[in-house]
């Protein structure tokens, strides 16, 4: 007979989303017993000519991806305004669709600014993408990560979200 002094917690899947205008990064990590592991990551490529078509495509594709992995919590990067206001507006539109899609699917949302994500995952709020990806690999026990930088950033967001639960 074995006895346990602590409770075994059910695994939870975290989704990280890295907003963009033509490419949206996504990443899923599983947290089980305090250990994080990679489930999936990638990017949604959007090549639709009009804003309306772009946003409808994003909602449909994101919904399919979410339903396939069934996350318990989603983390999304907060919008920060850079020099290019036109790009920021496009990112804000995409981000709105992401929040709407998550809301419709009743997935709790955590929002983080880029500096907080980098500081939490890499120990430096101003690190470059290469350093952040390296720390994501170490955290998830992976030698390398599939997909583009946007997917790696999304995994960092999912990792950051996992520290809240």
Q: Is 123 exposed, middle or buried (0-12, 13-18, 19+ CB in 10 A)?
A: exposed
Residues classed as catalytic: 18, 77, 150
**Residue where the block lists tokens 């074995």:** 2
Q: Is 34 exposed, middle or buried (0-12, 13-18, 19+ CB in 10 A)?
A: exposed
Q: How far apart are CA 155 and CA 16, in angstroms?
A: 6
């Amino acid at each position: 007979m074995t006895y346990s002094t602590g409770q075994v917690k059910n695994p939870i899947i975290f989704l990280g989303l890295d907003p963009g205008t033509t490419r949206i990064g996504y990443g899923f990590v599983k947290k089980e017993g305090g250990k994080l592991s990679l489930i999936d990551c990638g990017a949604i490529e959007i090549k639709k000519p009009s804003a309306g078509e772009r946003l409808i495509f994003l909602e449909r594709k994101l919904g399919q991806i979410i339903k396939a992995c069934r996350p318990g919590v989603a983390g999304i990067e907060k919008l920060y305004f850079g020099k290019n206001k036109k790009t920021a507006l496009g990112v804000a539109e995409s981000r709105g669709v992401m929040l709407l899609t998550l809301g419709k699917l009743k997935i709790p949302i955590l929002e983080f600014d880029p500096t907080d994500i980098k500081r939490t995952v890499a120990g430096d709020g101003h690190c470059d993408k290469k350093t952040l990806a390296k720390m994501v690999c170490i955290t998830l026990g992976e030698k390398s990560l599939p997909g583009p930088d946007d997917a790696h950033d999304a995994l960092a967001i999912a990792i950051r979200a996992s520290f809240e639960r």
